[in-house]
Amino acid sequence: MKITREQVEHVAKLARLELTEDEKALFTGQLDGILAYVDKLNELNTDGIVPTSHAVPMENAFREDVVAASIGIEKALANAPDRSESFFRVPKVIE
C-alpha cells in the first residue's frame, strides 16, 4: 500500500474536502494505484539534476511602484456569497 485511508483523511482535511465514506474508499484505491505508477520515477537517477520550475528560462519580471485604480467595492463584492455593508461575511472565526 502506498497510501492508507487515514492518510487520505488527513490529506482531505488539509485540502478542505469533506469526503464521504465511499469517496474515501474510492480515492484510497485510486490514489494508491496512481502512486504505485509514479514510483517508476525512482528508476531515474536524478542526483545533481537541477529541478525545473519553468521550462522556458525566465527571470525578473517587475512592476513599478505606481498606484493603479482599484476595481471598487461593488465590483469586489459582486460575487460574494454573503456580505454585510462593504465586508465579506463568513461564519465566525474563533481566535
Partner 1 sequence: MKYQVVIGLEVHVQLLTNTKIFCGCSTRFGAEPNSQTCPVCLGLPGALPVLNKKVVEYAIRAGLATSCSIAPRSIFARKNYFYPDLPKGYQISQYELPICVDGRLDIEVDGETKRIGITRIHMEEDAGKLVHLETMEAGEKSYVDLNRACTPLLEVVSEPDMRSADEAVAYLKKLHQIVTYLGICDGNMEEGSFRCDANVSLMPVGAEEFGTRAELKNINSFRFVKQAIEYEIERQAEILDEGGKVVQETRLFDPATGTTRSMRGKEEAHDYRYFPDPDLVPLVVSGDWIEEVRSSLPELPDAKRQRYQAELGLPEYDAEVLAASRDIADYFDACVALYPQAKPVSNWVMGEVLRALKEDNREFADCPVTPRLLAEMLKLVESGTISGKIAKTVFDEMYKTGKEPAKIVEEKGLVQVSDTGAIEKIIDEVLTANPDNVEQYRGGKEKLFGFFVGQVMKASKGKANPALVNEILLNKLKG
Partner 2 sequence: MELHELTIHELHEKLKNREISSVEATKAFLARIDAVEDQVKSFITVTAAEALKNAEAADKRIAAGDMDVLTGIPLALKDIFLTEGILTTCASRILSGFVPPYDATATARLKARGMVLLGKLNQDEFAMGSSTETSWFGKTRNPWNLDCIPGGSSGGSAAAIAAQQAVATLGTDTGGSIRQPASHCGCVGLKPTYGRVSRYGVIAFASSLDQVGPLTRDVTDSAIMLGAVAGYDPKDSTSVDTPVPDYLQALTGDLKGLRIGLPREYFIEGLDPDVKKAMDEAIATYRALGAEFVEMSLPHTDYAIAVYYLIATAEASSNLARYDGVRFGHRNQDARGLLDMYMVSRDEGFGAEVKRRIMLGTYALSSGYYDAYYLKAQKARTLIMQDFITAFESVDVILTPVAPTPAFRLGEKADDPLQMYLSDIFTIPVNLAGTCGISVPAGLSSDGLPVGLQLIGKHFGEETILRAAHAFEQATEWHKKKANI
Binding residues for partner 2, per CB under 8 A? 3, 7-8, 11-19, 23, 27, 30-31, 33-35, 37-38, 40-44, 46, 49-56, 58, 61, 63, 71, 75-76, 78-82, 88, 90-94
Give Dmax over CA atoms of the chain in angstroms. 58
Q: Does 50 bind partner 1 (CB under 8 A)?
A: no
The count of C-alpha atoms lying within 13 angstroms of the C-alpha of 88, restricted to the half-sphere facing its C-beta, is: 9
Pick the piece of the chain touching partner 1 (CB under 8 A) from 18-26, 32-40, 41-49, 70-78: 70-78
Task: Give the Cα separation of 60 and 62 in Å (integer).
Answer: 6
C-alpha cell at position 54: 519553468
Minimum CB separation from partner 2 for residue 66, in Å? 12
Residue 27: CB atoms within 10 Å: 19
The secondary structure of residue 66, as a DSSP letter, is -
Binding site for partner 1 (CB under 8 A): 13-14, 16, 53-54, 58-73, 76-77, 84-95
